[in-house]
């Protein structure tokens, strides 16, 4: 997602400097060219060799000593697509706010005109000191993005605000800030993701194998392209901000079943198909586009028991075909949310859904397109290797009234971009 981008990572002298190494690595693996500028004090916390090994570029601290560039602060400032300062000490924040340029980091910062992200990390009293807060406000007023430190264990042993957010969060912020053209700015896109859970009793439920990866990839793509993005999400395994698996694979996701909430996305968590229907009806009223990527349960138990069902309470029956004695469960249909959207479409609203079948995929998907009155069905087969639930890749055929386009094996993030391209082709 950062291919072709140049990121300058400024590292100043705080405890969290060690985390900047993981960030530099993730940015590099995400495709960016990464240049690290360290303050002299930062070198008390981590050695330049670490960054040089990870990025393939010499660390520059002294404006007058660079092996790569003649006038390094001007040259690098001109090349940069993003300037990230992480961790930013109270001292460096004060200098940046005052416009001081007495080393390589600060001189390049003041010369750079690209988007800038400053990530404070320090003791809570240093952070809350009015001098630091005034300095941060001044940076914000100049359009510099300042990330709020997280609450967590600080070096002194207390739990307080001042901790640098995990590298995965910073990577996502970087992607969000410069990863894409903002061609969907001004549009609201509603996306659903994940499975639903249909309770039988307080401890048991019916569900499916959806992990939410496709829906989360769509939300990320929409947000990165500037859309106001709302994600109605069924229960998913959230990797959370403490897990950096995504970094190990270049920030592009991981091989596990977990997902990460993309930066800039509003998540509405739901459990059941009925809750999802209610949330979609509410959020779709002013949406320019709705993409139903959730695997909404088609059926739910007819009765939800208030207490855990005892084995003895279940009715035993003999199956007329096999003669096997077993327990039976009565199910009822859940609401077809996509069909509801088709029947209640707002003027100009674009609607898309997914289709996952084990047989007659294309015929069933074409019928779904017409019956549900939607613009696009993304049909994915469970039978192809690399497609379907839990994988990081997908093989999808995009079906519209005007024609069909079979996409090759792509990452779910690339598939998401293609779906948005298809839906918004005429406005691009």
User: Is there binding between residue 117 and ligand FMN (CB under 6 A)?
Assistant: no
> In whole angstroms, what is the distance from residue 156 CA to residue 332 CA?
57
CA distances from 416 to 44, 55, 413 (A): 43, 29, 5
Q: Which of 39, 135, 284, 393 binds ligand FMN (CB under 6 A)?
A: 39
User: Is there binding between residue 37 and ligand FMN (CB under 6 A)?
Assistant: no
Minimum CB separation of residue 20 from ligand FMN in Å reads: 12
Of 357, 63, 39, residue with least CA distance to 51 = 39
> Which one, 127 or 424, has the nearer CB to ligand FMN?
127
Of 265, 278, 281, 276, residue with least CA distance to 192 = 276
- The sign of the torsion formed by the CA atoms of 23, 25, 26, 28 equals positive
Q: Which of 18, 41, 57, 281 binds ligand FMN (CB under 6 A)?
A: 41
208 is catalytic: yes
Give how far the C-alpha of residue 51 lies from the chain's centroid of Cα atoms, to the nearest Å: 26
User: Is there binding between residue 59 and ligand FMN (CB under 6 A)?
Assistant: no
Of 225, 318, 233, 236, residue with least CA distance to 263 = 225
User: Is there binding between residue 14 and ligand FMN (CB under 6 A)?
Assistant: yes
> Which one, 15 or 26, has the nearer CB to ligand FMN?
15
Q: Candidates 7-15, 291-299, 317-325, 356-364 — which segment interacts with ligand FMN by CB under 6 A?
A: 7-15
> Which one, 41 or 58, has the nearer CB to ligand FMN?
41
98: left (phi over 0), alpha (psi -120 to 50) or beta: alpha
Q: Candidates 121-129, 244-252, 312-320, 347-355 — which segment interacts with ligand FMN by CB under 6 A?
A: 121-129
Place of tokens 């300042």: 146
Catalytic residue among 123, 129, 208, 421: 208
User: Is there binding between residue 119 and ligand FMN (CB under 6 A)?
Assistant: no
> In whole angstroms, what is the distance from residue 273 CA to residue 281 CA?
12
Q: Candidates 8-16, 108-116, 137-145, 281-289 — which segment interacts with ligand FMN by CB under 6 A?
A: 8-16
> Which one, 134 or 286, has the nearer CB to ligand FMN?
134
> Which one, 156 or 332, has the nearer CB to ligand FMN?
156
Q: Which of 7, 9, 15, 36 binds ligand FMN (CB under 6 A)?
A: 15
> Which one, 59 or 236, has the nearer CB to ligand FMN?
59
Binding mask 62-91 for ligand FMN (x = CB under 6 A): ---------------------------xxx
User: Is there binding between residue 12 and ligand FMN (CB under 6 A)?
Assistant: yes
Q: Spell 163-191 as b/e; 16+ CB within 10 A means b.
A: bbbbbbbbbbbbbbbbbbeeebeebbbbb
Burial class (CB in 10 A: 0-12, 13-18, 19+), 20: buried
Q: Which of 126, 145, 200, 409 binds ligand FMN (CB under 6 A)?
A: 126
- Tell me the three state secondary structure of residue 426: helix
> Which one, 15 or 117, has the nearer CB to ligand FMN?
15
User: 412-423 vs 213-224: helix axis angle to the nearest 10?
Assistant: 60
Which ranges in 210-272 belong to alpha helices (H)?
213-224, 245-248
> In whole angstroms, what is the distance from residue 337 CA to residue 298 CA?
10
Catalytic residues: 208
Site residues, ligand FMN (CB under 6 A) = 12-16, 39, 41-42, 89-92, 121-122, 126
């Amino acid at each position: 997602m950062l291919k072709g981008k140049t990121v300058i990572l400024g590292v100043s002298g705080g405890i969290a400097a060690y985390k900047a190494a993981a960030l530099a690595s993730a940015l590099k693996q995400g495709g960016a060219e990464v240049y690290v500028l360290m303050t002299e004090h930062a070198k008390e916390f981590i050695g330049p060799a670490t960054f040089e090994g990870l990025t393939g570029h010499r660390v520059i601290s002294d404006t007058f000593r660079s092996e790569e560039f003649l006038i390094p602060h001007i040259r690098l400032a001109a090349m940069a697509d993003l300037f990230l300062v992480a961790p930013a000490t109270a001292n460096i924040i004060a200098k940046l706010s005052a416009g001081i340029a007495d080393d390589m980091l600060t001189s390049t910062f003041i010369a750079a005109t690209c988007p800038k992200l400053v990530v404070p990390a320090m003791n809570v009293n240093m952070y809350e000191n009015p001098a630091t807060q005034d300095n941060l406000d001044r940076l914000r007023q100049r359009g510099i993005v300042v990330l709020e430190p997280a609450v967590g264990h600080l070096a002194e042993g207390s739990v307080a605000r001042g901790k640098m957010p995990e590298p995965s969060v910073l990577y996502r912020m970087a992607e969000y800030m410069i990863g894409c053209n903002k061609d969907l700015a001004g549009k609201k896109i509603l996306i659903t993701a994940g499975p639903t859970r249909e309770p039988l009793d307080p401890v048991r439920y019916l569900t499916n194998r959806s992990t939410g990866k496709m829906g989360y990839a769509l939300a990320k793509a929409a947000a990165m392209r500037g859309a106001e993005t709302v994600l109605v999400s069924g229960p998913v395994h959230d990797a959370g901000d403490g897990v950096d698996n995504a970094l190990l694979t270049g920030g592009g996701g991981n091989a596990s079943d977990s997902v990460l909430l993309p930066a800039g996305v509003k998540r509405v968590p739901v459990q059941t198909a009925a809750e999802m229907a209610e949330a979609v009806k509410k959020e779709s009223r002013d949406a320019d586009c709705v993409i139903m990527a959730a695997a909404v349960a088609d059926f739910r138990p007819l009765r939800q028991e208030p207490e855990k069902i005892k084995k003895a309470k279940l009715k035993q029956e003999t199956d007329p075909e096999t003669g096997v004695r077993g327990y039976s469960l009565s199910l009822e249909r859940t609401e077809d949310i996509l069909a509801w959207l088709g029947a209640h479409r707002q003027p100009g609203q674009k609607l898309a859904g997914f289709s996952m079948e084990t047989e007659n995929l294309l015929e069933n998907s074409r019928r779904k397109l017409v019956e549900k009155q939607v613009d696009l069905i993304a049909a994915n087969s469970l039978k192809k290797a690399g497609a379907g639930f839990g994988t990081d890749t997908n093989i999808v055929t995009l079906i519209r009234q005007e024609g069909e386009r079979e996409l090759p094996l792509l990452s779910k993030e690339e598939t998401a971009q293609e779906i948005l391209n298809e839906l918004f082709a005429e406005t691009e």
